[in-house]
C-alpha cells in the first residue's frame, strides 16, 4: 500500500525531473512514470476521502485549509479536480520549504548574535499566526536563507528565439539551465556573497541595496515564476517563528554542512543540531535533546 507521505515525495520528484540533463550529470535514475501515476492517484484518493469524512462529520466548527475549499466546491465555484489540485500544491511545497527552513536554522546557529536579535523580536510581538508579518528580521532571515540555499538550485527553460549570451550563441529550442544558487552568490551583486547576512533584506541597513531582479530568483522569474512563493515564505516564517521562540539550536563542535545537489538542495550528511528549550518567563523546564 502506497503511503501518503511516499506519494507526496514521488510527486515532488516527478516535478523536479523536468531537468533531465542535470539529473543525468548527477547520476540519478530517470523518473518512473508508473510510480508517479500511482502516487498521483493515491494523493487524489486520500484528498477525496478526507473531503467525504469532513462532510459526513457535518464540518463541526472546523477552521483549516480544507474548510474554505469544501465551501467553494459546495457553492459550485470549483470542482473536485480543482480541490485536489489546490491541496496537492500545498502538499508538494512542504519538501523545499522544510529544506530551506533547516538551512535557516543552520545559519542562525552559526550567527548567534542574529539568533538572539530574532528571539527578542519574536518575544516582543508574540509571533503567532498573522503576527509573523510584523517581524522584519524574521522576514530577512527567511529571504537570506533562500538566497544562500535555494531549494531549487537549477531551473530549465527553453529558448523561444535565437540569442547571444556573451560569446555563446543559443538557438531557438535549446534548453537553457539557470542556477539560482550561482546567481545569488555572484560578487557583482552581493558583497561577501558566501556570508549569511539577513541585513541585506532590512531596509535602511548598509547592506540593503537595489539589485536587478535576476540577482535573486529562489522561485524563478517572469511568467513561470513559482506560484507557491508567498505560501512557501509564509510557511517558513510560521515554522521558524515557532521553533526559534521556544527552542535554541546549536551546532556540534566543528560541524560544517556541505550541500548535496539533489531535489531539493539539502545538507549532504543531514543536519545534526543540539536543541535546548529556551528559558522564558513562566517556564521552568529545560529539556535537552539531540535532533537530527
DSSP SS3 for 201: helix
Count, residues in the chain:
292
Q: How far is CA 233 from the centre of its chain?
A: 7
Q: How far is CA 165 from the centre of its chain?
A: 30
Is 231 within 8 Å of 90 (Cβ atoms)? yes
Would you list which residues are annotated within the binding site for heme? 226
Is 259 within 8 Å of 267 (Cβ atoms)? yes
In the block, residue with C-alpha cell 531539493: 264
What is the DSSP code (8-state) at residue 263?
Answer: S
CA 137 to CA 63: how far, in whole Å? 29
Question: Beta partners for 175?
Answer: 158
Would you list which residues are annotated within the binding site? 226
Pull the grid cell for residue 43: 494523493
Q: What share of the chain is helix, strand, coil (3-state, %, to 5)?
A: 50, 10, 35
Measured between alpha carbons, how far is residue 20 from residues 7, 30, 262, 288 in Å? 21, 8, 13, 44
Is 202 within 8 Å of 140 (Cβ atoms)? yes
DSSP SS3 for 277: strand
Question: Beta partners for 97?
Answer: none
Measured between alpha carbons, how far is residue 224 from residues 95, 147, 165, 184, 216 in Å? 20, 19, 21, 19, 15
Amino acid at each position: 500500500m502506497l503511503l501518503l507521505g511516499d506519494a507526496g515525495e514521488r510527486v515532488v520528484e516527478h516535478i523536479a525531473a523536468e531537468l533531465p540533463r542535470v539529473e543525468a550529470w548527477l547520476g540519478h535514475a530517470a523518473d518512473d512514470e508508473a510510480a508517479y501515476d500511482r502516487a498521483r492517484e493515491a494523493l487524489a484518493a486520500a484528498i477525496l476521502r478526507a473531503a467525504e469524512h469532513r462532510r459526513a462529520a457535518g464540518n463541526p466548527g472546523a477552521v483549516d485549509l480544507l474548510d474554505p475549499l469544501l465551501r467553494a466546491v459546495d457553492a459550485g465555484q470549483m470542482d473536485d479536480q480543482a480541490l485536489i489540485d489546490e491541496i496537492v500544491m500545498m502538499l508538494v511545497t512542504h519538501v523545499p520549504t522544510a529544506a530551506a527552513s533547516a538551512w535557516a536554522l543552520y545559519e542562525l546557529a552559526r550567527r548567534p548574535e542574529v539568533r538572539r536579535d530574532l528571539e527578542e523580536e519574536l518575544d516582543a510581538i508574540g509571533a503567532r499566526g498573522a503576527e509573523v508579518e510584523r517581524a522584519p528580521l524574521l522576514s530577512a532571515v527567511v529571504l537570506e536563507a533562500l538566497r544562500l540555499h535555494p531549494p531549487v538550485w537549477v531551473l530549465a527553460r527553453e529558448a523561444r528565439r535565437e540569442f547571444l549570451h556573451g560569446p555563446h550563441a543559443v538557438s531557438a529550442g535549446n534548453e537553457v539551465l539557470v542556477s539560482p544558487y550561482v546567481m545569488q552568490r555572484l560578487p557583482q551583486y552581493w558583497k561577501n556573497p558566501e556570508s549569511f547576512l539577513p541585513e541585506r533584506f532590512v531596509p535602511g541597513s548598509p547592506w540593503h541595496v537595489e539589485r536587478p531582479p535576476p540577482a535573486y530568483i529562489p522561485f524563478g522569474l517572469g511568467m513561470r515564476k513559482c506560484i507557491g512563493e508567498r505560501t512557501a515564505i509564509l510557511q517558513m516564517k510560521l515554522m521558524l517563528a515557532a521553533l526559534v521562540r521556544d527552542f535554541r539550536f546549536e551546532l556540534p563542535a566543528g560541524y560544517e554542512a556541505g550541500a548535496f545537489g539533489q531535489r531539493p538542495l539539502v545538507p549532504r550528511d543531514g543536519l545534526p543540531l543540539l536543541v535546548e528549550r529556551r528559558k522564558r518567563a513562566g517556564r521552568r523546564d529545560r529539556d535537552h535533546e539531540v535532533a537530527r
